[in-house]
């Protein structure tokens, strides 16, 4: 026999081995192990299962740890609408208001100087996050909708005329359709729409064929908030530039979930919202190439965006100040900077890889339920869906599904047209239900959702 020193065996919990109720007293049990040389060589201790990204990050999101209706555990699957905020972001915003609340740029005192430094630091963080060439290419806005309207009213009114064409897909969010409809009414520009392939993905070949010397702007999403499809933005940008057009990308569903590099993609404009990427509501950003922003007139007039004001005229500040009239959302922008710190610490590629796994798990489990129709492409080795599924259940209204899931099971999903009515009409439906995941979700969340959905279907079908 040989003595084993420094070897620790991880044994199962004792209650898993025996029934403790079978003992009439609590006499301590003693174990003695003797190993031969041959047994040492074959000793194998199982490694602990790796902790998923969802399990590792959930402690940072206090809101997820609560019970809602009937004591049900909250299962939050509405992340395409808005994400939850980690404690670090909440603390950052709280600290701004507690410690250095002040207006930016216009004061020389300590509080104003610190607020200005933190606000501009947030701009630099955004620039670095999307790899803009310089921080002045980042304009803070109220949200992505305002960012698109900024481009429409500033760049659009200066560059579009009657007969010019704007190419848009039918899968766009309303905020990427309505501003161009308004602009086309004013300028006489024409909207050209790209439909879907048989796989329910915006038809990139059709988009390419629509481009001509008449095309002045291409407006596309990066990731669809309904179909979960991902467009080849780099290719589309090149096609647009080949005919002398500009491209604007709605990146609200991509910037929070994957590495987005504006220089590599070659886009002219890109918009995103803070609240979908763990940041506060009330702030978003526009990325614009510096030469384009420099040539664009102001969007709003007022303080901060001026150089000099005279009674008969005014001159304007350089970008980005030119497009940030009035007091900005200071605390919210600083909070966005904190959210970027948080996401960057995890790593966007790590987030993306984990979400691809979650996306497949969600699709595969939802697809097995009879009567469920999922919209968008089928995942494969070459087709990656975003971590969301818009779906309908035969014979049930999506709002009934969402209501029952919420009130009976604590599962939060979304129902409606998801600000994409043209797409829903194209699909022949009025509305859909949507479950959408983020990196703090887990496969257990998906399991809870599937069980709750099965119960929901059983409940409603019991009346037929």
Residues 6+ apart with CB under 8 A from 168: 176, 177, 180, 191, 192, 193, 194, 218, 219, 220
**435 beta partners:** 389
Helix (H) or strand (E) holding 239: helix 233-242
- Any catalytic annotation for residue 389? no
Catalytic entry in 13, 252, 389, 419: 419
Q: Is the Cα torsion angle 202, 204, 205, 208 positive or negative in sign?
A: positive
Query: Which is nearest to 242 in space by CA: 250, 254, 234?
Result: 234
Phi, psi of 290 (to 5 degrees): -55, -40
Nearest Cα neighbor of 288 from 322, 329, 332 is 322
d(CA 305, CA 442): 45
Tell which residue, 154, 155, 143, 168, has the closest CA to residue 271. Answer: 143
Is residue 79 within 8 Å of 412, Cβ to Cβ? no
> Token digits for 409?
């099971």
Q: Are 149 and 173 in contact (CB under 8 A)?
A: no
Phi, psi (rounded to 5 degrees) for 98: -80, -35
Q: Which residue has the tokens 């999922």?
A: 374
Separation CA 112–CA 104 (nearest Å): 6
Q: How far is CA 83 from CA 332, 441, 449, 452, in A?
A: 15, 11, 18, 22
- Residues in the chain, total: 464
Beta-carbon contacts of 173 under 8 Å, excluding residues fewer than 6 positions away, are: 221, 225, 250, 252, 419, 420
* Cα dist from 97 to 123, 143, 329, whole Å: 19, 21, 12
> Is 326 within 8 Å of 140 (Cβ atoms)?
no
- What stretches of 243-329 show up as alpha helix (H) in DSSP? 262-265, 290-295
Rounded CA gap, 235 and 259, in Å? 17
Supply angle C-alpha 47, 51, 56, rounded to 5. Answer: 150
> What are the catalytic residues?
419
């Amino acid at each position: 026999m040989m003595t084993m020193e420094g070897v620790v065996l991880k044994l199962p919990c004792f209650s898993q081995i025996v029934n403790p109720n079978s003992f009439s007293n609590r006499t301590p049990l003693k174990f003695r192990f003797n190993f031969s040389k041959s047994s040492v060589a074959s000793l194998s201790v199982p490694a602990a299962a790796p902790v998923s990204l969802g399990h590792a990050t959930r402690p940072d999101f206090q809101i997820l740890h609560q019970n809602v209706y009937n004591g049900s555990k909250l299962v939050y699957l509405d992340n395409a609408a808005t994400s939850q905020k980690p404690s670090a972001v909440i603390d950052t915003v709280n600290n701004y208001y507690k410690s250095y609340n002040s207006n930016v740029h216009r004061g020389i005192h300590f509080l104003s100087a610190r607020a200005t430094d933190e606000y501009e630091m947030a701009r630099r963080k955004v620039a670095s996050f999307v790899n803009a060439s310089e921080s002045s290419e980042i304009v803070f806005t109220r949200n992505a909708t305002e960012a698109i309207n900024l481009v429409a009213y500033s760049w659009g009114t200066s560059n579009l005329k009657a007969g010019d064409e704007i190419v848009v897909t039918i899968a766009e969010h309303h905020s990427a359709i309505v501003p161009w409809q308004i602009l086309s009414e004013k300028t006489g520009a024409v909207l050209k729409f790209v439909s879907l392939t048989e796989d329910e993905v915006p038809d990139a070949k059709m988009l390419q064929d629509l481009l001509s010397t008449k095309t002045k702007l291409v407006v596309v999403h990066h990731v669809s908030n309904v179909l979960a499809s991902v467009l080849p933005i780099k290719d589309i940008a090149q096609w647009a530039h080949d005919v002398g057009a500009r491209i604007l990308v709605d990146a609200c569903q991509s910037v929070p979930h994957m590495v987005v590099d504006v220089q590599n993609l070659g886009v002219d404009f890109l918009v995103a919202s803070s609240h979908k990427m763990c940041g506060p509501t009330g702030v978003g950003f526009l990325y614009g190439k510096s030469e384009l922003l420099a040539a664009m007139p102001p969007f709003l007039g007022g303080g901060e965006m001026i150089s000099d004001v005279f009674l008969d005229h005014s001159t304007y500040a350089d970008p980005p100040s030119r497009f940030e009239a009035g007091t900005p959302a200071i605390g919210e922008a600083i909070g966005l900077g904190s959210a970027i710190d948080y996401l960057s610490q995890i790593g966007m590629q790590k987030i993306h890889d984990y979400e691809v796994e979650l996306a497949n798990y969600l699709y595969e489990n939802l697809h097995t339920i009879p009567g469920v129709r999922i919209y968008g492409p089928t995942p494969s080795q070459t087709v990656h869906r975003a971590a969301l599924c818009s779906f309908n259940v035969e014979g049930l209204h999506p709002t009934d599904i969402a209501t029952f899931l919420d009130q009976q099971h604590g599962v939060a999903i979304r129902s409606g047209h998801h600000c994409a009515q043209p797409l829903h009409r194209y699909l022949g439906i009025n509305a859909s239900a949507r479950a959408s995941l983020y990196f703090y979700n887990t496969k257990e969340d998906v399991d809870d959702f599937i069980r709750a959905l099965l119960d929901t279907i059983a409940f409603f079908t019991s009346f037929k």
